[in-house]
Amino acid sequence: MSKYKLSVIIPTFNTGVFLHESLGSIINQSIGFENVEVILVDDKSSDPLTLSIIDDYVSKYSNIKVIYLEENSGFPGRPRNVGINASTSDYVIVMDHDDSYEIDAFEHLYNTITKENADVVICNFNQVFKDGSIPFKSLFGDVSSIKVENIEENKKLLQIPAAIWTRLFRKSFLKKHNIRFLEGMLAEDVYVGVNSLLNAKGIVYLNSYYGYNYKTRDTDEDKSTIHIRNKKYIDAILNGFLNISSMIEEQNKEKYSDDIFKPHLTSWLYTIVLSNTNKEERKQLFKKASTLYKKRYVDDPYFKGRYNKLVNYIQNNQFDQAVNESIKLKSIEENMNVKLVNEIKENNKLINKTKNKFKKSLKKIFKN
């Protein structure tokens, strides 16, 4: 029996100083750091700072271990699989190397998964931007939590973000169903998220608990993987979706297709629209995706019909028209993103103003 309650797997690659915040949030967990096994899997970092930081933590804490891959895999799937295989506890969770957990996240997730005897427990997350943060807007509104024996009881759970770092798994469940991250491509998190929900016996979604802080780095100087919008990465996401399509066919679970693909296929087009891919690259991507979109596409109301024309062109093999439509959409989306950033800034100003008023009120109370 393992001496740890859970294992957290963190792939690293030229992470630098971000790793301090990530590991700091784990070391300070209310569950007790002695109950947590941390496995860093370095994907052949070339940055001396990252390697030095890893060495420092490994030498200081006996429950922080590191595995150095001999070759760079290019994507998170292989490091995550290696880390899970090396873990010794009964429950596992994966983390991105530049994010952080709330101080009671592991305690909350672990207590829930053991109490409910579930295969997977999921929490919600905050989106952290340069100018502030906002809680992810849940599909389930103000519902505190959702507990089901299997996905048939609430298919809508397949529409929540993959957000694999919010999911604590029973390790024996992953092994039993041979649930592994896709390697050599992206959407590897969606693949595991979907595969696990389709096969789990006991699923708990802690809708009102925000246990993870997801850092959205999207500037020219500092981009997280999800915001690298070149053909290689966009194609890698598409490859992941094609694998998910094949997986649900093999498991005879195509009845869940709409719920699985609804949150993802319009978002993939959004990524192309905002990318710097040229016309020929866009055309190639649309051609490759056409069969998937004919078979699996479901309109996502979040985008309010903006992509209907583009999807229609792709489904009808009108790829030149699809390219032109995607270029038109780019300016629309960029303008909307500017408005969103300004809204976040204004919201944070109001929050800070309220905090300052509250502090002043407290001072007056204590003076009296």
Tens digits of per-residue pLDDT, 45-65?
999 999 999 999 999 999 999
Each residue of 247-264: b (16+ CB within 10 Å) or e? bbeeeebeebbebbbbbb
CB contact set of 96 (below 8 Å; sequence gap of 6+): 10, 11, 22, 165, 214, 215, 224
pTM of the full predicted structure? 0.89
Q: Count the residues in the chain.
A: 368
pLDDT for position 350: 61
Q: Kindly tell me the burial class for residue 140, based on how many C-beta atoms sit within 10 Å of its own C-beta (0-12, 13-18, 19 or more).
A: middle
pLDDT for position 33: 98
Residue 340 has pLDDT above 90, yes or no: no
The rounded distance, in Å, linking the Cα atoms of 23 and 64 is 9
3-state secondary structure of 61: coil
Which of 91, 96, 102, 200 has the alpha carbon at shortest distance from 153? Answer: 200
Which of 145, 118, 299 has the alpha carbon at shortest distance from 209? Answer: 145
Domain 6-226 has what CATH class? alpha beta
pLDDT for position 351: 60
Domain range annotation of the chain? 6-226, 264-340
Q: Tokens for 137, please give them.
A: 């807007």
Under 8 Å between Cβ of 238 and 271:
no
Report DSSP state, residue 263. Answer: T
Query: Which is higher by pLDDT, 356 or 104?
Result: 104
Under 8 Å between Cβ of 90 and 171:
yes
DSSP letters of 143-209? ---EEESSGGG-GGGGGS---GGGEEEEHHHHHHTT----SSSS-HHHHHHHHHHHH-SSEEEEEEE
φ/ψ of 179, rounded to 5, equals -90, 110
Under 8 Å between Cβ of 179 and 171:
no
Q: Kindly tell me the burial class for residue 54, based on how many C-beta atoms sit within 10 Å of its own C-beta (0-12, 13-18, 19 or more).
A: buried
Q: Kindly tell me the burial class for residue 246, based on how many C-beta atoms sit within 10 Å of its own C-beta (0-12, 13-18, 19 or more).
A: exposed
**Torsion, Cα of 104, 106, 107, 111 (10° steps):** 140
The rounded distance, in Å, linking the Cα atoms of 265 and 120 is 25
Which of 224, 240, 305 has the alpha carbon at shortest distance from 18? Answer: 224
Average pLDDT, the chain: 92
Residue 217 has pLDDT above 80, yes or no: no
Give the pLDDT mean for 63-87.
97
The confidence band for 23, taking pLDDT boundaries of 50, 70 and 90, is very high
Q: Tokens for 112, please give them.
A: 């829930």
Element (H, E) at 140: none
Under 8 Å between Cβ of 70 and 35:
no
Query: Which is higher by pLDDT, 363 or 263?
Result: 263
CB contact set of 49 (below 8 Å; sequence gap of 6+): 16, 17
pLDDT tens by residue, 242-277: 999 999 999 999 999 999 999 999 999 999 999 999
pLDDT tens by residue, 281-326: 999 999 999 999 999 999 999 899 999 999 999 999 999 999 999 9
